[in-house]
């Protein structure tokens, strides 16, 4: 009887997912039709953006019209090739041209266009896409678009009137993506051991993480005050104020690098990885290539080939470290856990990384995703996390201290969620 009930539950889930996907397509199609074939779809990873875009443009393909698919990375070209086959569009493959946005200048012919990862738009992309798609269909896809990019999309006649948003939590509710939990591991900086090297005219010296962070942060705040005062009182020339602004930006980068390279964050990441059972599928997002090399035996980044990535997707290995190479456009449905060693202040980066764990696993319909985020107690890092997580469901987030997992098994720690 229990097995029968299990199948009934599975069927109901499938029905709910199918209905939700149909309703999402209908929402997008309504906007697309009303706006004469222009739409921006902001939808969570795993919600089927590729299929929706292909289904929208299908009537044009049936008329024999060509289609350009513009992507930001060559790796995503392969994803689209797979999606075209999976969703039954192989017969139209000769009409479809897939290429990276850096090659846009070579593709000036006016054509129907799917613009993937639209949050990566730049003035250069806008310059080439605008005349290319002025009189054609344009479908832009993204998990979410930052406010600063919306003005560029508006130039392509993509604005609030012809956009559709479908959130991560809507996807969970509709059973389109896997349910998830977020575990934030807070890590204090080391105020005892002098392990941070500071350069000087005499060759340099070592100070603690806490002292180094305070020195950089105090300097940044002083520069900000000087810049704000100069802007307000105008007692410096425009070029002097611009120089101050550049110094502020340099100090921000200096502080960012200090946080990215905190030894305590690496040690906390090592502790978390050691705690997670070896049979769990773990994808790590590291702050630097150096950190990635130190934390993971198998890696995929700008200085490696795809051998480890291919082994990971094939199920031959269970752990893979990356930096930014897997942030978007790559489908790995079997990933259970994502370890993020460093957050950035923009939600899009967190959403992309979380998205690697959220895709439904056809072999495990009850899969639950876990996002583990290492956050330093440095004020700037805590602020970045607060900004990055503001669009997540707060009830799914549990914040713990690194000491809460010392000596505990993975199962014990999961009980804290």
List pLDDT tens digits, range 89-130: 999 999 999 999 999 999 988 899 999 999 989 999 999 999
Distance CA 272, CA 277 (A): 10
pLDDT at 409: 93
pLDDT at 9: 47
Residue 339 near residue 284 (C-beta atoms within 8 A): yes
Question: What is the SS3 assignment for 98?
Answer: strand
Q: How confident is the model at residue 45 (pLDDT cuts 50, 70, 90)?
A: confident
| Residue 125 · residue 96 · CB < 8 Å | no
Candidate from 16-20, 22-26, 381-385 with smallest mean pLDDT: 16-20
In the chain, where are the structural domains located?
2-167, 180-189+263-414, 196-260
The reply to whether domains 2-167 and 180-189+263-414 share a CATH topology is yes
* Contact (Cβ atoms closer than 8 angstroms) between residue 375 and residue 343: yes
Question: Per mean pLDDT, which range of 179-183, 258-262, 331-335, 355-359 is the poorest?
Answer: 331-335
Bigger pLDDT: 360 vs 275: 275
Output the pLDDT for position 384.
94
Burial class (CB in 10 A: 0-12, 13-18, 19+), 119: buried
Q: Percent of the chain having pLDDT more than 90?
A: 64
Among 217, 187, 213, smallest CA distance to 198 is for: 213
Choice among 30-34, 216-220, 386-390 with the minimum mean pLDDT: 386-390
Give the pair of three-digit tokens for residue 270.
Answer: 């090592």
Take residue 207 and report the two structure tokens written for it: 């100070």
Whether residue 242 is predicted with pLDDT greater than 80 in this model: the reply is yes
Give the chain's mean pLDDT.
90
The rounded Cα 411 to chain-centroid distance in angstroms is 27
Q: How confident is the model at residue 8 (pLDDT cuts 50, 70, 90)?
A: very low
| Three-state DSSP class for residue 190 | coil
Kindly report, residue by residue over 353-388, the tens digit of the pLDDT: 877 788 877 788 788 899 999 999 999 999 999 999
Which residue from 413, 395, 397 is spatially nearest to 405, judged by alpha carbons? 413
Residue 14 scores a pLDDT above 70? no
Q: Would strands 196-198 and 205-207 be described as parallel, antiparallel, or unpaired?
A: antiparallel
Note the pLDDT of residue 97. 96
Highest CATH level, class, for 180-189+263-414:
alpha beta
Length of the chain: 417
Read off the tokens for 206.
């070592």
CA distance 212 to 37: 54
> What is the pLDDT confidence band of residue 4, given thresholds at 50, 70 and 90?
very low
Which pLDDT belongs to residue 1? 44
CATH fold for domain 2-167: Rossmann fold (3.40.50)
Using the predicted structure, report yes or no on whether residue 343 has a pLDDT greater than 70.
yes
pLDDT higher than 50, residue 283: yes
Three-class DSSP category at 267: helix
Q: Is the pLDDT of residue 44 over 90?
A: no
| Beta carbons of 238 and 401 less than 8 angstroms apart | no
Q: What is the pLDDT of residue 225?
A: 92
Residue 405: CB atoms within 10 A of its CB come to 19
> What is the pLDDT averaged over residues 189-216?
92
- pTM for the complete prediction? 0.85
- Min mean pLDDT across 55-64, 140-149, 295-304 is at 140-149
What whole-number distance in Å separates Cα of residue 205 and Cα of residue 360?
A: 51
What DSSP designation does 243 have? Answer: H
Q: Read off the pLDDT band of 3 (50, 70, 90).
A: low
Please enumerate, as own/partner, the contacts of 396-404 that have beta carbons within 8 Å and a separation of 24 or more: 396/180, 396/181, 396/182, 397/181, 397/182, 397/184, 398/181, 398/182, 398/183, 398/184, 399/184, 399/186, 400/183, 400/184, 400/185, 400/186, 401/185, 401/186, 402/185, 402/186, 402/187, 402/188, 402/268, 402/271
């Amino acid at each position: 009887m229990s097995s029968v009930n299990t199948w009934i539950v599975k069927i109901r889930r499938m029905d709910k997912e199918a209905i939700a996907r149909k309703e999402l397509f209908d929402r997008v199609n309504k906007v697309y039709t009303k706006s004469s074939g222009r739409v921006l779809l902001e939808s969570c990873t795993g919600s089927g953006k590729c299929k929706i875009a292909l289904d929208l443009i299908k009537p044009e393909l049936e008329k024999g019209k060509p289609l350009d698919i513009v992507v930001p990375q060559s790796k995503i070209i392969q994803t689209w090739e797979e999606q075209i086959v999976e969703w039954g569009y192989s017969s139209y493959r000769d009409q479809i041209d897939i290429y990276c946005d850096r090659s846009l200048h070579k593709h000036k012919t006016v054509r129907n266009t799917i613009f993937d990862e639209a949050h990566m738009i730049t003035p250069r992309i806008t310059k080439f896409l605008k005349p290319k798609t002025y009189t054609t269909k344009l479908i832009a896809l993204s998990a979410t678009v930052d406010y600063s990019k919306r003005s560029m999309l508006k130039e392509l006649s993509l604005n609030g009137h012809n956009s559709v948003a479908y959130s991560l939590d809507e996807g969970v509710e509709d059973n389109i993506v896997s349910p998830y939990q977020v575990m934030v591991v807070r890590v204090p900086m080391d105020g005892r051991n002098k392990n941070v090297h500071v350069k000087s005219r005499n060759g340099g010296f070592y100070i603690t993480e806490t002292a180094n962070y305070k020195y950089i942060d105090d300097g940044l705040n002083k520069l900000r005050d000087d810049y704000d005062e100069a802007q307000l009182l105008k007692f410096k020339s425009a070029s002097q104020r611009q120089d101050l602004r550049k110094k502020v930006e340099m100090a921000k980068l200096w502080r960012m690098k200090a946080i990215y390279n905190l030894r305590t964050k690496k040690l906390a990441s090592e502790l978390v990885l050691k705690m997670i059972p070896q049979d769990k599928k773990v994808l790590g997002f590291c702050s630097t290539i150096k950190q990635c090399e130190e934390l993971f035996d198998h890696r995929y980044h700008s200085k490696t080939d795809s051998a480890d990535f291919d082994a990971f997707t094939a199920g031959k290995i269970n752990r893979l470290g990356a930096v930014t190479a897997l942030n978007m456009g790559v489908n790995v449905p079997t990933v259970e856990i994502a370890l993020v060693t460093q957050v950035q202040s923009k939600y899009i980066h967190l959403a992309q990384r979380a998205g690697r764990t959220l895709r439904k696993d056809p072999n495990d319909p009850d899969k639950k995703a876990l996002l583990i985020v290492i956050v330093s107690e440095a004020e700037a890092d805590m602020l970045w996390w607060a900004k990055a997580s503001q669009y997540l469901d707060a009830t799914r987030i549990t914040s713990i201290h690194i000491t809460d997992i010392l000596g505990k098994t993975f199962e014990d720690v999961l009980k804290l969620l």
